[in-house]
Amino acid sequence: MRITTLLLSLALPLSAASVNWDTYHGDKAGSQYSPLRKITPENVAQLEIAWTYRAGGLDGKNRTQIQCNPLVLDGVLYGTTPDLNLFALDAATGLERWRFDPATIPGVTKVGVNRGLATWTDGSQRRIFYANSNSLHAIDAATGRRLPDFGREGSIDLKDGLGRDVSNLSLQATTPGVIFGDLIIMGMRLGEGPAPAAPGHIRAFNVHTGALVWRFNTIPSPGEAGYETWPPDAYKHIGGANVWAGFALDDKRGLVFCPTGSAAFDFWGGNRLGQNLYANCLIALDATTGRHVWHYQFVRHDIWDRDLPSPPDLLTVTHGGQRIDAVAQTTKSGHVFVFNRETGQPLFPIEEVPTPKSDVPGESAWPSQPLPVKPAPFARQLFTHAEITNRSPEAHRAVLEKYTTLRPHVPFMPPSLQGTVILPGFDGGAEWGGAATDPDGILYVNANEMAWILTLVDAKTPAFGGPANGPALFTQICAACHGMDRKGNAAQNVPSLENIGQRLKLPEVLALLQTGRGVMPSFAFLSEAQRTAVANFVFGLEPVPDPRNESIAHDAGRKPEPADGGDALGRIPYATTGYNRWLDPEGYPALKPPWGTLNAINLNTGEYVWRVPLGEWPDLAAKGVPKTGTENYGGPVVTAGGVIFIAASRDEHLRAFDRRTGKELWKAKLPAAGYATPAVYAVGDRQFVVVAAGGGKIGTKSGDTYVAYALPK
């Protein structure tokens, strides 16, 4: 059978439709599937480097990343650099054709990451849509120049048209939109902490002019369905419920599938009591008008940061003897939900699971949450005593001591001031790399099996009932990333603030709070006095009193209603000690392996085909420890030739697996970890697989190289 497959693959010509990777994650269905057949399980071990491209843009501090899944169109590859420039290459040789730097546009700041691009063509002109921070640019694919008929001189500001003023709030478009006809449908990344956040409304813009065509309010306004699931004024000040992971599109039916995240603040919802539609939903919208067709909510009143982390997958499965066009959604909790694409009817039973109550003042956890009966979870759901690491007696003892201080772990245990275990952790389960599907109805998904610890802290201070000084403000807006101890978080790409005066001057920190940089968002909503108070606290100086607070103190104790901006912090009485992975004293995960897996699930039956560890720790392997898997970011691609390609693991390899059995067939060392989804394409009769080796996450070194592999000529 293998020989027959190989002969057929060599005999079949490559069609024009099959040679490109023309959409983020391969196609509008989000399938991460290539119909190319030249590379097979029999010959994949012969792969060699075809070309490399050094993109430049490293910061020298191992804080840059490349998460881009590039586009390949008619022999040209389009991607982005660590410092967020856009480029075009010859896809056969890796030679650069042009480069676009958004920093040349007055007022544009390069903030965040970029995971991919969108493209539109009428057959004569091709446009590349590239987002940086809150700007969406229309770029001529032939020249790399902005197209002046789009928006204002080739760009639009995504902060416009959201129904309220968000000019001082954080907004970044990290994942590309999806093209439907002459529309580009966009999501965005927003603030998730106690600070004020923009609403995550879904919007469609005209690809020619940049004009707003429609908007779907994910936090409903009065008179809209779902408004009753929020407090009456929530639409005025609550943020989030945004699509940051990307879309899937059924072109034939004109349906766009939109996976939303949590409302903000992620971990305390006392100011948004209720079910909170349309947060944490898969929403099917009419792509022409934005009209609601159906939705399903996966987490009600989310207080665990259980965003839907990846685009859904559109595929066809067989259920009850019938072929059904379906949509499958993977989750951070490690589940796959499968629905009829037209009706939203679940294809496998879903049960209501009772959940514990919250003991945090002002909070009210939803009494139950839905979980699918099939397929079984692709990540562990419980951190029991039996799951504590036994890597060494010392590691076991250290984790056990911490274990006894935390809340007993059950799914959906609410956040607490004592400390709550989150498993799978804040990065899944599934994550933004997406799942792959093939025409047989098999879904391939990589999973993280990492426990994290969530601890709330009291952040109330006298003025406005909210932050009035540097320490309180730091707790609210900085500690979640930099830590209460200001030591930073290498695993999250966050630097230490200890001895910051040796690296930066006070005016530079004040400027960073205003503009943001890299993965740090802007805090422009703070007043000048508040930014100064935070900076002074970080530098170890005396806090600068806020004159506004002094006047309030003399005003007979009267507290005015907080407004949007820095004052809105007063609505949130809690912050967190940070996004903390639970590691043993030597930096290994606190629970037993596997710590990362690759899974194949038959969505016709809901049964697993295979499950294997993904990645390894070289130092443990050298000691004879069986392959443990590692934390991983970036998804798999699957080919008609029978091969799955995935990088993702922290050990800096690109791997190939047998699609049928899960057997590892080949691996190649990358210049840095490939925390990005590969792309598969062909130029002429030669098939390539390319991945961005950008590193820079979970303590690994940064890189700036795209590496393409092919069979020998």
Domain ranges of the chain: 158-366, 460-571
Look up residue 494 and give its DSSP letter: B
Determine the 3-state secondary structure of 481 from DSSP: helix
Instruction: Give the pLDDT band (50/70/90) at residue 17.
Output: low
pLDDT tens track for 328-359 = 999 999 999 999 999 999 999 999 999 999 99
- Strands 637-639, 33-34: pairing is parallel
With b meaning 16 or more CB within 10 Å and e meaning fewer, what string describes 42-58? bbbeebeebbebebebb
Q: How far apart are CA 468 and CA 434, in angstroms?
A: 42
What is the dihedral sign for C-alpha 339, 345, 349, 351?
Answer: positive
Angle between helices 470-477 and 528-538 (to 10 degrees): 90
Q: Is the pLDDT of residue 418 over 80?
A: yes
Instruction: Give the pLDDT band (50/70/90) at residue 6.
Output: very low
Fold designation for 158-366:
Methanol Dehydrogenase; Chain A (2.140.10)
Q: Is the pLDDT of residue 158 over 60?
A: yes
Task: Give how far Cα 509 sits from Cα of 211, 500, 536, 565, Å.
Answer: 36, 9, 10, 19
Mean pLDDT of 582-594: 97
Q: How far apart are CA 478 and CA 491, in angstroms?
A: 16
C-alpha triplet 62, 66, 71: angle, nearest 5°: 165
Q: What's the CA dihedral at 475, 481, 482, 488 to 10 degrees?
A: 160
**In this prediction, what percent of the chain has a pLDDT beyond 70?**
92
What are φ and ψ of residue 566, in 5° steps? -60, -30
Mean pLDDT, all residues of the chain: 91
Judged by average pLDDT, the poorest of 192-196, 339-343, 596-600 is 192-196
What was the pLDDT predicted at 560? Answer: 34
What was the pLDDT predicted at 9? Answer: 40
What are φ and ψ of residue 638, in 5° steps? -125, 145
Question: Cα 709 to chain center, whole Å?
Answer: 26
Q: How far apart are CA 473 and CA 704, in angstroms?
A: 35
Q: Is the pLDDT of residue 544 over 80?
A: no
pLDDT tens track for 75-134 = 999 999 999 999 999 999 999 999 999 999 998 888 889 999 999 999 999 999 999 999
Q: What are the helix (H) ranges across 556-684?
A: 618-622
426: tokens are: 């804040």
With b meaning 16 or more CB within 10 Å and e meaning fewer, what string describes 137-170? bbbbbeebebbeebbeebbbbbbeebeeebebbb
Instruction: Give the pLDDT band (50/70/90) at residue 269.
Output: very high
Find, among 663, 608, 605, 598, the residue nearest to 636 by Cα: 598
> Sheet containing 607-613: which strands, arranged edge to edge?
436-437, 442-448, 596-602, 607-613
Superfamily for domain range 460-571: Cytochrome c-like domain (1.10.760.10)
Task: Give how far Cα 331 sits from Cα of 174, 366, 434, 437, 584, Å.
Answer: 19, 19, 10, 16, 26
Judged by average pLDDT, the poorest of 35-39, 258-262, 543-547, 681-685 is 543-547
What was the pLDDT predicted at 109? Answer: 84
